[in-house]
Amino acid sequence: MHPTAEIIASWPAPNFVNPVTRGSALTVVNVIFITLVVLVAGLRFYTRLRITKSFGLDDWMIGLSLIPTFALTCVVLVADNDFGWNRHSWDLHPERGPPGYKLCITAQILFFWAATLNKLSLLCFYRRLSGPCTPRWYNWSITYGIVFQVMMVLAYFMVALLACRPLKAFWEPLATYQYTCIDEGKLMLSFSVLTIFLDFIILFLPVPVVWSLQLPKKQRIAVIGIFGAGIIVCVAGVVHAYFVDQALVKSYDETWTGWPLWICSAVEVDLGILCVSVTAIRPLLALYFPRLLESTHPPRRDIKEIPDSNELSDQTPSPISKPSREGSSAQQSSSYFSAHGTGNEKDVEKGIDGDEKAQEGKATLPLEFTDFSKYAS
């Protein structure tokens, strides 16, 4: 919410020499989280390209999300250290005002692009879980979710660019020429609330499908872990919306009250990448650190190269869905990750699990949930 001339006149005398600041926490948080993002994303790409050989569309989405995520981090660091985002608005030198507003609208657009690409990656991962017997509503929900996410971020992008006419009035709130602007705070708050609603829908979307299968206890715990990580991102989104309301709707001291908002923005976006990537690096951890995952196979010190996904199709359990009352397990088989060669169609039809017969009612998830420690020797 941009202050009017009357509001500015009521502010305390400015202190340009030694103003009160928030400290360097914003810089520290951004540096720590972006470092973790680089590390985990690198491990994700290595795992998908070299170990499971199942690099897919969800990985491309994560790769694309790194672009606005890095850009958002750079914008926030520059604004915090060079343009006074860590102090009161009345202690901000007038010359820093216009560049600071430009960085603000840039950061908002980058945030929504990064968050949207993270959700698209998760939806694409859900798409990997679908098979011939997956309910039609599940596949359509994923498709509609992807389309809606793209439309929403494009809508915000266009509205943000047209928030003021002319646009330069956004960073010149006390301009003497005629201009019109929409309420920036209410716009961002509306999109934030809508994003929270969609986050919870996306989080619980695959629950009915996964829970309709009788999974081994270890795989069920792994699935619960994914959902638990998603809840963290949803909570971060709620906190982010709260500070949007405090900083951009209820206060004119945007730099001071908006400081926690940019911490939440960085945490939400970076946590999104971390949470959707944890599962992808599980095969890497199971290969080199089997004790961390409490493998059912005894850990060994010497590590053998894990076969590619084509070899795994003959060695990992084929995803068999729960057989019907007529006993036709072939008709109700679920081919998780079949697009990446993780299921053996012939074995599925025969009800055979690699070299052993699959237990009735058992199902397996993608390669990320496979016990890779058995490939160590």
Domain assignments of the chain as residue spans, ordered by start: 21-280, 311-375
DSSP classification of residue 356: E
Task: Please report, for residues 1, 99, 184, 300, the alpha-carbon distance to residue 252 in angstroms, rounded to integers and kept in the order given.
Answer: 6, 18, 12, 61
CB atoms within 10 A of CB 98: 15
**Contact, 40 vs 281, CB < 8 A?**
yes
Cβ-in-10-Å burial (0-12, 13-18, 19+) of 12 comes to: exposed
**Contact, 24 vs 258, CB < 8 A?**
no
pLDDT of the residue at 216: 73
pLDDT of the residue at 226: 65
CATH of span 21-280: 1.20.1070
pLDDT digits (tens, 9 = 90+) for 339-352: 343 444 334 333 33
State residue 112 phi and psi, 5-degree precision: -70, -35
Q: CB-based contacts of 16: which residues, under 8 Å, 6+ apart? A: 91, 93
Amino acid in the structure at residue 317: P
pLDDT of the residue at 332: 37
Distance CA 192, CA 190 (A): 5
Q: How far is CA 364 from the centre of its chain?
A: 24
**Contact, 295 vs 286, CB < 8 A?**
yes
CA distance between the termini of the chain: 63
pLDDT of the residue at 46: 94
pTM of structure:
0.75
Residue numbers of the chain with a pLDDT score lower than 50: 295-306, 308-364, 371-377
pLDDT digits (tens, 9 = 90+) for 242-277: 999 888 888 888 889 889 999 999 999 999 999 888
CA dihedral 342, 345, 347, 353 (to 10 degrees): 30
pLDDT of the residue at 73: 95
Q: CB-based contacts of 172: which residues, under 8 Å, 6+ apart? A: 98
